[in-house]
Amino acid sequence: MAKPSTTGSKLLSLVLRHQPELAQVILEPGGWVNVADLLTGLKMAGHALTREELEDIVANSDKKRFTLSEDRKMIRAAQGHSQPVDLGLESSLPPDELWHGTAAKNLEAIMAEGLKPGARQHVHLSRDRETALTVGKRHGVPVALLVNAAAMRADGISFWQADNGVWLTQHVSADYIRKV
């Protein structure tokens, strides 16, 4: 059985990224949801979570998936939405190289078509190989792909950095990807 913070984190990810209707909430501009409404909706759906548990998940999640507003009345997922959400992020200058973690079984398609967001709004990239490999492990035998962000930038492709440090872009052509 998963520990409560893991279960709670997965529940928050589901609601704040993909299915807000499960907690009878609507993602407001920027993907924000009122914390009190979220907790009430979760309780009504049979998934009670206390304010303390929510705060613990936000503060102690290793992936920092969630952001609380400064007044702590609103919460949102930092990235990973399949729902249409404009996070209000400004285009940012990424490091020259970024990493993407995937499973070996996806390599052929990626090298042919590049990285696509799939059901999500953006392709997710990390600053380091280790993080990419950790992400890749969730899907099978992990592979880390090196992305030439400098070349993408030079070609006018935009990047955004999520609240949790994950780099986002719309698509990465196979021309910018190298298997390491």
Last residue of a domain, one of 15, 49, 77: 77
From CA 101, how far away is CA 96, in angstroms rounded?
17
Range of the domain at 158: 97-179
From CA 155, how far away is CA 136, in angstroms rounded?
27
What is the per-residue pLDDT for 75? 98
E-strand spans in the chain?
Answer: 33-34, 66-68, 74-77, 97-103, 123-125, 142-148, 160-161, 167-169, 177-179
Domain membership flag for residue 27 = yes
Last residue of a domain, one of 77, 105, 134: 77
CA angle at residue 38 from 11 to 59, to 5 degrees? 65
pTM: 0.85
Average the pLDDT over each of 3-7, 41-45, 50-54 and give the range with the smallest value. 3-7
The answer on 121 and 50 residing in a single domain is no
What is the per-residue pLDDT for 5? 72
